[in-house]
Amino acid sequence: MASATILTAFREITDLTVTQYADLDVTDKAEPYALSMYNHIMDDTETITAHTTGDEAIDRVIAFFCGAYVFEEKFKKRVRDGVYEYEMFYQDGMRILNMIAPWKIAFDPNSRRYYPRHKNRGQSVTTATATEYA
């Protein structure tokens, strides 16, 4: 990688050209989404300036999340075993997060997927009852 930024990592990871997905779209659409996802998962408050957070590992994770966003929105296709390509980008980002903070990201050997460790995972976070929606 020539320069360690989110944009250059995104280009390297996805092999998308500027014609296929413009730099401005990465800046205006994919980076904000990916940063928000990162901050939500890691319970953090990172910011991006000039396509970098200042931490190369976090930038790489955000680049993978940018790839997930773009491929889910524009290039949705299954690549192997019925898995969408955007899911593979997301899982690659989560794998790196697992190495950075294994107490926040877990791996399920049955599904072979990484997932955030949240105390409410698998439980409803809504306290309303069905009659309140009638």
- % of residues, the chain, pLDDT over 70: 81
pLDDT digits (tens, 9 = 90+) for 1-52: 345 799 999 999 998 889 998 999 999 999 999 999 999 888 888 999 888 8
- Are the C-beta atoms of residues 69 and 34 closer than 8 Å to each other? yes
Q: How is the chain split into domains, by residue range? A: 6-133
**What's the pTM?**
0.81
Supply the pLDDT for residue 80. 67
pLDDT, position 43: 86
pLDDT at res. 127: 55
**CA gap 106, 125 in Å, rounded:** 20
**β-pairing verdict for 105-108 and 113-116:** antiparallel
Q: In the structure, what pLDDT confidence band is assigned to residue 124 with cuts at 50, 70 and 90?
A: very low
22 vs 74: CA distance, rounded Å: 12
Query: DSSP state, 133?
Result: G
Say which residues have a Cβ less than 8 Å from residue 97's Cβ, sequence separation at least 6.
Answer: 41, 42, 61, 104, 105, 114
